[in-house]
């Protein structure tokens, strides 16, 4: 007799990390640390903080999240903070950002929780929820490092939310998504509304290819290394020019964001780039 099929909710979940990019307010940092403790987020990562994240104000605001704040990891830039992450959701406060597709918190966070699923005993690659600067949010380049970009619906007259307030809304929605995943047959009153027209729902787990049973994107560090290799080659052969390379590579990043490129595909592209570089250096086909 065959064993019952494994459901996604039966698999170990990927650990979740919250990333703050260049936070300037110690009260906001402490408040987010407290929220992480409220909603069982085990790790906080800070990218080039512009305040004393271990100062009196931050620790006082963190309350029972003080221990989590004290062990927060610091990174010089967002790429370094996300290097080991496969699924990344970034928060965007703008109504439109260079035609990047925006998702509701429910849709984006359901997708974020679909990561993980390695056999028990193996380390799960983390998934990340990213928040930007208090004054100007995340740049387009930073948003392109995420697999999904979410926007919290607000009134049109004043769309900007305080950092800690935005984190509270998203982490509450993340908690609801966890409950839905733990009890898929009983969504309860916290079940999300249908996704707005034009949004892309998370693909089912069992639709992953045989080469990648997880169906997860490749780690961000591998994708960034692949893009660096490709950019250097394209500059060398004249497909890119220094003054336009950034804009054209941004288009490629957008394509990869939509495609959610996986490990085997990253390896394929890097192999092609290496072979093309070798051929170009030999000046032979």
CATH code (residue 88): 3.40.1280.10
Q: What is the pLDDT of residue 1?
A: 47
Write out residues in the chain with pLDDT < 50, as ranges: 1-2, 5-9, 190-214
Mean pLDDT computed over every residue of the chain: 81
Same domain assignment for residues 230 and 139: no
What is the per-residue pLDDT for 273? Answer: 84
pLDDT digits (tens, 9 = 90+) for 187-235: 555 444 444 444 443 333 333 333 344 467 888 888 888 888 888 888 8
Within this chain, do residues 175 and 271 fall inside the same structural domain, yes or no?
A: no
- The boundaries of the domain holding residue 274 are 218-282
158 and 230, same structural domain?
no
Write down the pLDDT at residue 261: 82
| Number of domains composing the chain | 2
Same domain, 98 and 175: yes
Mapped to the 3 state alphabet, what secondary structure does the chain carry?
CCCCCCCHHHCCECCEEEEEECCCCHHHHHHHHHHHHHCCCCEEEEECCCCCCCCHHHHHHHHHHHHHHHCCEEECCHHHHHCCCCCEEEECCCCCCCCCCEECHHHHHHHHHCCECCCCCCCCCCEEEEECECCCECCHHHHCCCCEEECCCCCCCCCCCCHHHHHHHHHHHHHHHHHHHHCCCCCCCCCCCCCCCCCCCCCCHHHCCCCCCCCCCCCHHHHHHHHHHHHHHHHHCCCCCCCCHHHHHHHHHHHHHHHCCCHHHHHHHHHHHHHHHHHHHHCCC
User: Residue 275's domain is classified under what CATH number?
Assistant: 1.10.8
| Same domain, yes or no: 43 and 111 | yes
206 in a structural domain? no
68 plus 123 within the same structural domain:
yes
Residue at a domain's end among 154, 182, 210: 182
Specify whether 173 is located in the same domain as 224: no
168 and 41: one domain? yes
């Amino acid at each position: 007799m065959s064993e019952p099929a494994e459901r996604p909710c039966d698999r170990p979940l990927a650990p979740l990390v919250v990333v703050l990019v260049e936070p300037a307010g110690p009260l906001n940092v402490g408040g987010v640390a407290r929220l992480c403790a409220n909603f069982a987020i085990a790790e906080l990562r800070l990218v080039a903080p512009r305040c004393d994240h271990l100062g009196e104000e931050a620790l006082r605001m963190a309350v029972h999240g003080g221990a989590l704040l004290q062990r927060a990891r610091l990174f010089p830039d967002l790429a370094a903070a996300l290097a080991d992450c496969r699924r990344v959701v970034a928060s965007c406060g703008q109504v439109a950002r260079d035609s990047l597709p925006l998702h509701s918190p429910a849709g984006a966070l359901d997708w974020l929780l679909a990561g993980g699923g390695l056999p028990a005993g193996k380390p799960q690659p983390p998934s990340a929820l990213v928040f930007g600067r208090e004054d100007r949010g995340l740049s387009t380049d930073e948003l392109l490092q995420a697999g999904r970009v979410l926007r919290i619906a607000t009134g049109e007259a004043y769309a900007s939310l305080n950092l800690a307030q935005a984190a509270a809304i998203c982490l509450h929605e993340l908690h609801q998504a966890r409950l839905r995943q733990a009890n898929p047959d009983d969504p309860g009153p916290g079940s999300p509304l249908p996704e707005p027209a034009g949004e892309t729902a998370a693909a089912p787990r069992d639709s992953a290819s045989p080469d990648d049973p997880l169906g997860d994107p490749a780690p961000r560090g591998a994708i960034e290394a692949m893009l660096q290799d490709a950019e250097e080659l394209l500059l060398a052969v004249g497909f890119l020019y220094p003054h336009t390379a950034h804009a054209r590579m941004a288009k490629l990043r957008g394509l990869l964001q939509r495609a959610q490129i996986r490990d085997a595909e990253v390896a394929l592209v890097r192999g092609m780039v290496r072979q093309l570089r070798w051929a170009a250096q030999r000046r032979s086909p």
